[in-house]
Amino acid sequence: MRIGKQDNAFTAIATSDEHSITVRGHDLVGDLIGRIDFTDYFWLLVCGHRPTGAQKAMMDACLVAIAEHGLVPSVQAARMTLAAAPEAWQGAMAAGLLGMGTVVAGSSEVAGRFLAEVVADGGDEAAAIRALERVKVAKRKVPGLGHPQHSSGDPRADRLMEIADGLGVSGAHVAALRHLGRHAPDLLQRPLPINVSGAIPAVILDAGWPLEALKAVPLLARAGGLAAHLYEESRRPIGFILSNHADQAIAYDGEKAE
């Protein structure tokens, strides 16, 4: 059964023959291996062109900012998977990445799409206020704002926007985020600092990264952090300790056996 479009079956990413391997129009061996670093290559693979110096520096900063985030649920899932199947690094890595949704790590994409809506509406203070009022009416959280620990300001977000300003990258998305951060506390009557999930899409979208590929940034970053946790798990296991503590922390309140 034919489903979807069936013609124009092409890819512009890579090809090879018996003599060469071509990636995005570059010879892999002659032009890329040993001549380009991984952040350059990541940008080239996704966008089809090498980044400028400012784009590369901004991407590097974003990747470093969120590669490691402690024993969050995705890391616990990965470590407990490796404890149960120590031969299956790929399964443990997948377990960690699969848990990166709208609450953990994938929240950058949610914030990015929210910022894009504000920018499309004008991107000024009035557009930010309108967006915040819609969020308030819907009784939703403001994407990219608020933090349970850093209530006075997320230092990672502050640093990323400082870097973007210094590189000349800051544009419409950073401006929109700052408008949101300025007006949200008064409109919603609680502390709502700009968080790293808001700063990352703001700075990387202004740098020229495509909105549709935004989730790739936290996925790639967290893969590095997961690799560290899985290596440590293989040498100093805590997966079953995590599991045991979870079992002890949760009380049963179901039906009792007759």
Q: Which domains does the chain have, with CATH numbers?
A: 9-50 (no CATH), 107-213 (1.10.230.10)
Angstrom CA distances, 212 to 63, 145, 184, 203, 209, stand at 17, 21, 26, 15, 9
The pLDDT tens digits of the residues spanning 85-134 come to 999 999 999 999 998 877 777 789 999 999 999 999 999 999 999 999 99
The one-letter amino acid code at 141 reads K
The pLDDT tens digits of the residues spanning 16-64 come to 999 999 999 999 999 999 999 999 999 999 999 999 999 999 999 999 9
Task: Name 230's Cβ contacts closer than 8 Å, sequence gap at least 6.
Answer: 78, 79, 82, 89, 92, 93
- In this prediction, residues 156-183 reach a mean pLDDT of 97
User: Helical H runs in 67-215?
Assistant: 73-84, 89-98, 107-120, 125-138, 155-167, 172-188, 196-206
Find, among 12, 13, 215, 184, the residue nearest to 112 by Cα.
Answer: 215
Is residue 140 exposed (0-12), middle (13-18) or buried (19+ Cβ within 10 Å)? exposed
The more confident residue out of 152 and 226 is 226
- Give residue 69's pLDDT: 87
Q: Are 214 and 201 in contact (CB under 8 A)?
A: yes
- Give residue 148's pLDDT: 57
pTM exceeds 0.85: yes
